[in-house]
Chain A
């Protein structure tokens, strides 16, 4: 053997790869595992239909949301009003389609805010080797022990009027609610990202990159972030459902969107005093919130299984 050009060949069989013949990238592997989670697949379908419903709904059901009809107060479901009417005779289906857009938009936008802030704070803490990390974690823990709902209520109570003046009625409340919900919910993401960074930056493949002359930026972007992203995606998914619940809670307490913007929580707030005569008024928006949140949570669970870090690294 000595003197031959070939090095001693590897005597081990290539595991898995040769058996299947094709190479499987981690992303495809993730999709394959996600598809196996039956409830997550069903939920993805349900959520897709809900989103489709609120997006194209107004074209299929072109009824004005504020068309008052005193001859049809508090009616149960019928062909004219599939979800019934409220105390002013307004069509609940039309109001729900409109409100659903807002509720879902708030959920998504607040998730983006929370994830963005969380990833930045977590990554800064995770890359720092000096005093920045303890400080950021102290701030994170501090925010975690803030009483969120009271604080949300307080901020909205204090700032609603001014933002209304700047962004208009709907826009003002929207921006306020998104920023406040996002601003009070970034902490879990930050902790997660930091923990991921801490374990990943000690991994040998990151050290190997460093030993090859990679800058900190390259280590982070090419090696740490792609491996930290799985749990962040899961957390971000769950964040959407938390934000939807938070917005609905605010509206349900009468402190979210004003009455002329019928988000699902607001509909429940209006309906709760007529529960004995018009239960349908509360049931439909309540069920919509429940179904949305449930399917998002199941999708999160499916993603968690599919992205299980223990199986990737």
Chain B
């Protein structure tokens, strides 16, 4: 190995919490060679982001301390005086962050924000800096770069803002780029573009990259070497191929076993649990397919949705006239059998969550019908609707927001029972204890408050609350998306077990293709408010027809470094918005049946003109 660009040894970063120094990073060491990409991977709270900030010495000065050694090309950074450290930041080491929506100053033009670094470190004049900035914007493939120089960040989408951040980072040709979860907040097709861009630019600029992420798929996609962090320590370090092929540490093994691998479900028709790995020994059980839970087609479906349409009006201007409509859900139809899981997948703005809420009638749809056991939910009056709601329940995305902080867990779970008059207070107490046990928690936790539980536990509590009224249908809106990989696997296993025992029907809303492949019987792909493809999971994933389905599947990073070299087409498109002019009339769509139950929307010209291979590469 050539002499390293960055060498971190025995790095310990502590924060002062209520007067005590609490270490968050505990003595980690690693090196990055020139032109190498090293990934630091770990779950939330593992200390990976703090490691990145420590290298830049950007942790809050009063309440944190950094010990150990960080050498950049042999120069010790931790003892450097602040003015010299400033010369390193943005010049020799640059950084991009997780949240593109908040990483740019909203009141300054993007041109100014990039030029600022050029003027500071390279001593360019204003006009030189402007010319150079435009060159950089072109380099990160921002269309019409020149005209966008004077625009403010709110005019840019998330992906475009992340490109601006990359341009800013590249401004002074740094030796090392630190990317702290740069694609986590982005949709999967945009993530693929940004990863591709970072790879290309790394080659062009001869940079080293330190890539912080929680996503094993991204690691496999991009990293030469990998550092696995757990609880502030580096538990395993090595070439990425080795880590994936022969993980030695039990934690790494449990992490990898919990990662769903897209394409690993070929040959299976039913959902499959995640293997359970013992954290201490690293031994794993072998999961099997779940038993056949789906009610036969002769039975009436639990849920029949047809022609569901939900639109939001955008009012603006002096008189508050309708300036446009968001066609969030447009003529959506599907049905769901008892014991079946139908996944709604798509990227942000595709209307999958709005569909779920419209089915629950948490949002009033414009038209269509939602039959629950043959009864149209949309036609019910408020009183009957409240009564019918016990047959369908919802589990939400954010486990921190879905429990009332002022209500103890027992009261939260008992509330649906009390409201619907299904139990007296003492009966409810027993029921709560049983429900807590059923979701893998202890009955005596009922008297505790939500803030005393972790994210995964809260999600279990939410599941218990939903189960209290013994519903037939559960709408799970991104219910596992906010959870760490291993917790996610546990919660999914729980949901699958409950489905087997209670014959629950799930409407599983998710953006995560790999999770969807694992848990669903059938899949519906949504794009701009419409279902473009629907069918049995195996058919849609194994034989995708619609160009959008193909694009979506191609963009998912696969946690298998061996498959990295498979060249996948990456489009350079931004995600379109379902916002339309007030006079927009949605076209009448035709569907074609590919195989029994697998239908695809017949698409028009706009999909044919797509370039097959990325412009980026």
Contact = CB atoms under 8 A, between A and B. Distances in A.
Indicate whether A and B are direct neighbours in the complex (CB within 8 Å). Answer: yes
Interface of A: 1-2, 6-17, 23-26, 203-215, 218, 222-223, 226-227, 312-313
Contacts, number: 133
A211 B393 contact: yes
Nearest to A9: B440
B460 interface: yes
A6 B390 CA distance: 25
Contacts of B390: 212-213
Given A7-B437, A312-B406, A313-B405, 5 more contacts: A7-B439, A15-B453, A208-B394, A209-B415, A226-B404
Nearest to B441: A10
Given A8-B497, A14-B457, A26 B402 contact: no
A211 B452 contact: no
Interface in B451-471: 451-454, 456-457, 460, 462, 465, 469
30 contacts: A1-B276, A1-B285, A6-B440, A7-B494, A8-B493, A10-B440, A10-B457, A14-B448, A14-B452, A15-B452, A15-B454, A17-B453, A25-B449, A26-B405, A26-B406, A204-B398, A204-B401, A207-B362, A211-B362, A212-B390, A212-B415, A213-B389, A213-B390, A213-B420, A215-B386, A218-B419, A222-B407, A227-B404, A227-B405, A312-B405
Contacts of B393: 211-212
Contacts of A25: 408, 449
A207 B420 CA distance: 16
A223 B332 CA distance: 33
Given A10-B441, A23-B447, A213 B452 contact: no
Contacts of A223: 404, 407
B563 interface: no
B279 interface: yes
Residue among A15, A210, A213, A218 facing the most chain B CB atoms (10 A cut-off): A213
B406 A227 contact: yes
Contacts of A15: 452-454
Contacts of A222: 404, 407, 415
Nearest to B383: A215
A313 B402 CA distance: 10
Interface of B: 273, 276, 279, 285, 288, 360, 362, 386-387, 389-390, 392-394, 396-398, 400-408, 412, 415-416, 419-420, 437-441, 445, 447-449, 451-454, 456-457, 460, 462, 465, 469, 486-487, 490, 493-494, 497-498
B447 A14 contact: no
A214 B419 CA distance: 6
Nearest to B390: A213
Contacts of B494: 7-8
Secondary structure dominating the interface of A = loop
Contact of A210 (B362, B397, B403): B362
A146 to B, nearest CB: 25
Nearest to B459: A10
A14 B362 contact: no
Nearest to B403: A205
A6 B408 contact: no
A208 B288 contact: no
A11 B452 contact: no
A14 B445 contact: yes
A241 B308 CA distance: 55
A168 B67 CA distance: 75
Contacts of B453: 14-15, 17
B276 A24 contact: no
A2 B288 contact: yes
- What 7 A-B pairs are tightest by C-beta distance, nearest first? A204-B402, A212-B416, A17-B452, A204-B396, A213-B386, A213-B389, A226-B406
Contact of A203 (B389, B401, B416, B457): B401
B493 to A, nearest CB: 5
A212 B447 contact: no
Contacts of A9: 440
A212 B493 CA distance: 24
A23 B415 contact: no
A213 B454 CA distance: 27
Given A14-B445, A25-B408, A204-B401, A213 B387 contact: yes
Contact of B437 (A6, A24, A208, A215): A6
A303 to B, nearest CB: 16
A4 to B, nearest CB: 9
Contacts of A208: 394, 396, 402, 462, 465
B526 to A, nearest CB: 21
A209 B390 CA distance: 11
B420 A23 contact: no
Given A207-B394, A208-B462, A7 B438 contact: yes
Contacts of B497: 2, 7-8
Contacts of B405: 26, 227, 312-313
Contacts of A205: 401-404, 412
B490 A23 contact: no
A7 B449 contact: no
A206 B407 CA distance: 12
Nearest to B274: A8
A23 B452 contact: yes
A9 B404 CA distance: 24
Nearest to A15: B454
A7 B498 contact: yes
A208 B613 CA distance: 44
B389 A212 contact: yes
A36 to B, nearest CB: 10
Contacts of B402: 203-205, 208
A205 B398 CA distance: 10
A42 B617 CA distance: 67
A16 B457 CA distance: 13
Nearest to B460: A10
Contacts of A227: 404-406
Given A8-B276, A12-B487, A226-B406, A212 B396 contact: no
A82 B185 CA distance: 69
Contacts of B438: 7
Contacts of A312: 405-406, 451
A6 B449 CA distance: 24
A26 to B, nearest CB: 5
A74 to B, nearest CB: 54
